[in-house]
Structure 1
């Protein structure tokens, strides 16, 4: 049987799951966010999932808000499964109950740990040695559904949110394929989460990227790795009596020492940290 799968996702990480699912089963449709205008260069930006779907002639629904009309359009595909991977919008109960088999979510943590929108950065910020991915049945309460499969992953010492999400989606793609096959063979075995062990993450803010160079080097190193993709990390430097924001582009950590290698000072081009500090010293004279 080739199940009818409607896929929900927006990011480049979502595409990892979409590619694997489409190669194994063929996606029936893809749901993603609408195009938007990039404020910097006024170009139209399409979601990576839309670009993938168009390349493979998969029907696309561009959705800003899940309305009753959108729900009916999705139901018209008569899905066997809804698969969600890094989508962002909450699916209403009337939609979650629509597929023949199940609505499944690829979540980037070993649930019930790190429910919510930012589990991968949380694992790095907290210095976790092990992370993982969970395939769950979607429920009304976000990330609280029954667990069908979990895969663990040992973090590398220089793991970033980008590298971690890439790995977890690769693992998650195979895991969700395994779960779909379990449903089709009648062997799926969901297990309830232990609510007493639940922890939660929140949406990241731009201000989260602010670091103080006098803070713990290891904590700053974790922030740089966790927030490098977004919002980026930065520190505040004082120049000529005013404060400037300095974005960290590259850093290294060894033997307990954090070394900032490249930065972008406010309204300046990228430069080495040494050149930046040299310039700061000359202005103080």
Structure 2
């Protein structure tokens, strides 16, 4: 059921926005926001995660959002804890009309949510109420969804359960990876956000409650989730490889060596030369001209892989020079 937000914006003054986000996806949304006419909106500060050790030297590095804020000479708050009087006081000092949140990475307490005069808005990378939570992009790919999209929503204390303000959809391509889909959704989300802010300024923004019966949830992704279980069906593993590219990267073992799997292809044709379908899951049933693995159900061709300490390469190039015979099992 649609309703009108309790507070509206003036068409004559610029909306003052505090942006909260951390990863590259959030940085692209912020960049789109900053490219809009600043007489209509004005980003007055950003809030992002503290600098983290990265790279081989584990040197402290700012987030992508912090780097963008520095480029635009915006104040950047990097609180280690957000449930403090000091942080909330500093946040309120910007007298923001809106908090805009995209991939911040923390659940926000009510003291933070009420810091904006009008409302807190989230750019969520799924078609809510599906795929609430920390990994909506990965969730959509893993589920084999035909489409994806973004939801602009008013934030409430319940995770991703607030009223929907606007949604935009795109087809989910059969070769989309986590990385490619996030890039598409960052663009889609940035411009959907601008559209919703324009509606707010005109007093035309409406809210639609989410259907709780349709809600699904995702959890944070860890490296252990990316270990391939060859007993799964080939379609599930193919989607897993795409969902975890670029991070944490689907992985298995070949002998004692870890092997990252970057690209695969379903073997959809009947190929009698591909080896016995009675072979145990994880078995390399064919090595030439393609590297084919027996799964719990179906066959999967490995297209691009990476050994520890090596670059990504075609599976055929990886196998060249290695003494591996048909019948060897991955993941043992």
The answer (yes or no) to whether the contact 1:236–1:246 under 8 Å persists in 2 is yes
Aligned residues: 280
Decide which of 53, 56, 64 is 2:69's aligned counterpart: 53
- For residue 179 of structure 2, give the secondary structure of its aligned residue in structure 1: helix
The offset of 1:174, in angstroms, is 1.4
- For residue 245 of structure 1, give the secondary structure of its aligned residue in structure 2: strand
Distance 2:243 2:236 in 1: 10
Residue equivalent to 2:225: 208
The 5 Å alignment of 1:1-285 reads: 1-24=13-36, 25-38=41-54, 40-66=56-82, 67-213=84-230, 215-238=232-255, 243-253=256-266, 255=268, 258-268=300-310, 270-281=312-323
Larger radius of gyration: 2
When the two structures are superposed, what TM-score results if normalisation uses the length of structure 2? 0.79
Change (3 A) 1:45 1:157: same
- For residue 229 of structure 1, give the secondary structure of its aligned residue in structure 2: coil
Map Cα deviations across residues 166-204 of structure 1 (whole Å, 9 max, x no partner). 111211111111222222222221111111111111111
Q: If each structure's helix is expressed as a fraction of its own residues, which one has the higher value?
A: 1
The answer (yes or no) to whether the contact 1:105–1:135 under 8 Å persists in 2 is yes
- For residue 22 of structure 2, give the secondary structure of its aligned residue in structure 1: coil
The answer (yes or no) to whether the contact 1:213–1:235 under 8 Å persists in 2 is no
The answer (yes or no) to whether the contact 2:88–2:115 under 8 Å persists in 1 is no
The offset of 1:27, in angstroms, is 1.1
Q: Which segments of 5 or more consecutive residues in structure 1 lack a partner in the other structure? A: none
Map Cα deviations across residues 248-274 of structure 1 (whole Å, 9 max, x no partner). 234445646633233222355555423
Q: Which segments of 5 or more consecutive residues in structure 2 lack a partner in the other structure? A: 1-12, 270-298, 327-332
The offset of 1:112, in angstroms, is 0.8
Distance 1:282 1:111 in 2: 47
- For residue 26 of structure 1, give the secondary structure of its aligned residue in structure 2: strand
Mean alpha-carbon deviation: is it higher for 104-113 or for 213-222?
213-222
Change (3 A) 1:268 1:57: closer
User: What CA RMSD, in Å, does the superposition of the two structures yield over aligned residues?
Assistant: 2.1
Mean alpha-carbon deviation: is it higher for 189-198 or for 19-28?
19-28
Distance 1:115 1:86 in 2: 12
Distance 1:131 1:262 in 2: 26
The offset of 1:39, in angstroms, is 5.7
Change (3 A) 1:274 1:177: same
- For residue 217 of structure 2, give the secondary structure of its aligned residue in structure 1: coil
Distance 2:46 2:169 in 1: 28
The answer (yes or no) to whether the contact 2:242–2:262 under 8 Å persists in 1 is no
